[in-house]
Structure formats: C-alpha cells, structure tokens
Structure 1
C-alpha cells in the first residue's frame, strides 16, 4: 500500500480528504496527518510516505519552501498542494519544483481523485510498489542538480546573508529551509562546491571588505560587525579567504 500524509491547518479538510477519497481503490492508505507545516515535516520524516497532500499556506511554514525541501530530500515523493489563492506564478513555481498537482480550494472530489490517480501512476512508473519511501541519505544525492535542490540552496544562502552578523549554525539554516542538517550539508556542497562554514566565512569576509573602506572603523569593530567574536579567528579567516591580512587589504583601498 502507498502511504499518504495529509497536512492542512483546517481539521475539516484533513478529515474530509481522509474519509471521502476511496484510498484503498488506489492501493493507498492514510498513514498520518498534521495541522501545521512543522508538525507535517515531523510526520513525513517519521512515516516516509509516498504521497503528500498539503495546504501551501499554513502557520509556521512557507509551503513552497517545504515543497522544495521535500522534493530535494525525498526525490520520488509525490506531492500535491492545495491553496485558496489563485496565483499563476506560484503555481508555475510549484510545478517547476516537482509538485504533481496545484489544486485550488474549494476543490471538487473529481479533481482530487484525478490528482491521486496521477500520483499513483507516477509511483508505479518509477517502479515504487510499497514500503517506506527511501530517503536520499540512503542513496547520496542525485547526480543532477534539481530545481528543488537549487531552491533550497538559494534559500539557505539568503538566510546566511541576512543573519551573518549573528551566530549562525548549520542547524539554524537547516531549520529555516526545512531539511535535515545532513541533507543541507550535502546540498550546499553539491551546488556550490563549498561547505557550510566556507560559505558563511566567505559571506562574512565579503561584508568585512566593504566595511574596511570606512577608516573610522577599527579592524576589531569590523570583525564584530560581521559576526566574529574572536579577533584572532577573524584575522585567520580573512587571510585564508583573501590571501592578505585585513590591514593589508585596507591599505590597498586607500
């Protein structure tokens, strides 16, 4: 049986989808449900379903980012999104990320069952017959750079650029992009050729180079502004990234 998880912040919709779709007719069973995005991710990682039907706008979650995270972490998962808003651009982006169906609320039963048929057909075509869906961890990542992976990496980089002046950990970024730390680390390396710490240091040093143009700022002030609490650490990283010391760099821009 194909395992299904339903996520929506309206309990009546979760109940309706669970009871009204003849899941057994499609070789499916509802294995779990959740009422917000973070809970949904927890259920999905526990159940590893073949099919997910989720609202795109929910508390504690950016639905599109969640879709990208799921498709990058569980490449073979079939995902359909529900929304009460008609947004053509959003629908296009969802399909580009690998979402099977983008369904407007209120949706009729025929449309929902058509989505289920297509998702089941896709699973069958890929030779997936049942059991828990394999995680990418069990296989390393796909050789190709997927749109979902690129979306997740870009979101991670944006978060790092917005928060570089504070303490930023791999856990923080993984939580913001809705993927596991292991998966995010692999994605970053695959798409950029650099580790998390290398990317964060590069962002911080690029910002430090801009600040060093201001003679009123001491090098120690610059280091603190870009997130380094240890001046010696800043000096080592700056030289490693640029090849020269911060003071030497400052002299080149006078």
Structure 2
C-alpha cells in the first residue's frame, strides 16, 4: 500500500520543525512527513514526490503560500491543502477558498487543532482518490443496472452469478439454468430489465473488472485476460480497444502517467 506524504512549508524554522515533530509523533510512521523552508524548495519536493497533503504558511518571502499553491496546481499536482497564517486576513482566506484550500489555521496552532485538521484533510484526500478511481473504472450503465434490481429478482441472481464467475466460461444458457428460467424467456427478461443484451452486460462487466486489475495490480495482460474470462490475450486486447479506444497496456500506462503527475 502506498505511503501518503505530507509536506510542511514554512520559512520559520521553529514553526516548521514543531509542526513536523507533532505530525511524526501522531502518524507513528504511517505517513511520510517532509518539510521545506520556502516555495522553491517545496516545488523541488513536488518534482520528486507525490504529495497528498500540503500544509503551507501564507506569508513567506519570495513566494507566498498562495503563489506556491497556484504554481503547484499549474504543474498538474492536486494535493489537499491546509493554509497556516500568523494573522486573519479576509482577502487571503477568500483566495484560499477559491484555490480549493480545505482549512485555514491561525498561528499559534495547537497540536490538537493541527491533528484534527490533518485527519479531516486526509479523509477528504482519500474521498477524492476514490472518486477519481471510480471515474476511471466504473461503467455508468452497469451502476444503473446493479442499483435498480430488487434483491429477490431472477435478474439480480443472474447478475450475482456472472459477477462471481467472471474468470470462467459463461453462457446465457448456463445462467438461465442457474435462475431456473427458459433461456429464451431469460434473454427477453434480461434485456427488458437491464436495457442491455446478456452478451453486452457480460462484456462490459469483464472489461470493468479488467480495468480494475490494470489499475490496481501488476498482472501481465495475458493474466488479466484469463482472470476476466478471455481464453486468449489477442481477443481480449481487440475487445478492450473496441470499447475503450486504446489497448490495455496503453490504458495502464496512461493511468500511471496521470498518477505520477498528481
């Protein structure tokens, strides 16, 4: 599992070290806590490391915290952000909100307030990551189908059977038999209730699972094909490209490039 990184940026050494020590004690090694003395040093960290949470002072020489945040966003990085300031400033706060800052803390920051803000920020970051992941993987048609079925319907049972046996060879006749329906009637009922043919549902489900495996594992393409019920990688690649517009290996590579840029 990826270790998440917190970056603290403050030109005041005592404050910077104090925040870092507090968060290191709190995290007990679960998070990597880095620090930078100014905006330029912070941008160097962003070039080398994926930063999940940025905690930055507003008032710094050369580059303010808000200027740093703008530069970070322009480079395609999307950390969640907590701003720390020595005094309340309505204009700074307004601009911070516009830039997506999720908390604005006034110095001196108590250990409890800092930890509460960091825990909330990391929960927000996890929610954003989940949403990004769902957007990459989820098939809207499948989400609609699975959410609209009642728990005792034969079509719901059929969907569960398919989902549990994706790596095996599945035929409409097999699934119809499992839910005790005539294959012809099952085919009509399936299309009526899902607005997809059984074959299209099976393909979409297999490709959704394939996308999940491509994003979350290092399995070779041949094994991804087998895990999703395709006997040959060649056919799997052809089908994947028809639906997604790119090959499975390119899909994986593009996702990796997006993640490294964030």
In the superposition, the TM-score normalised over structure 1's length comes to 0.47
| Bigger Rg, which one | 2
Comparing both structures, which one devotes a greater share of its residues to helix? Answer: 2
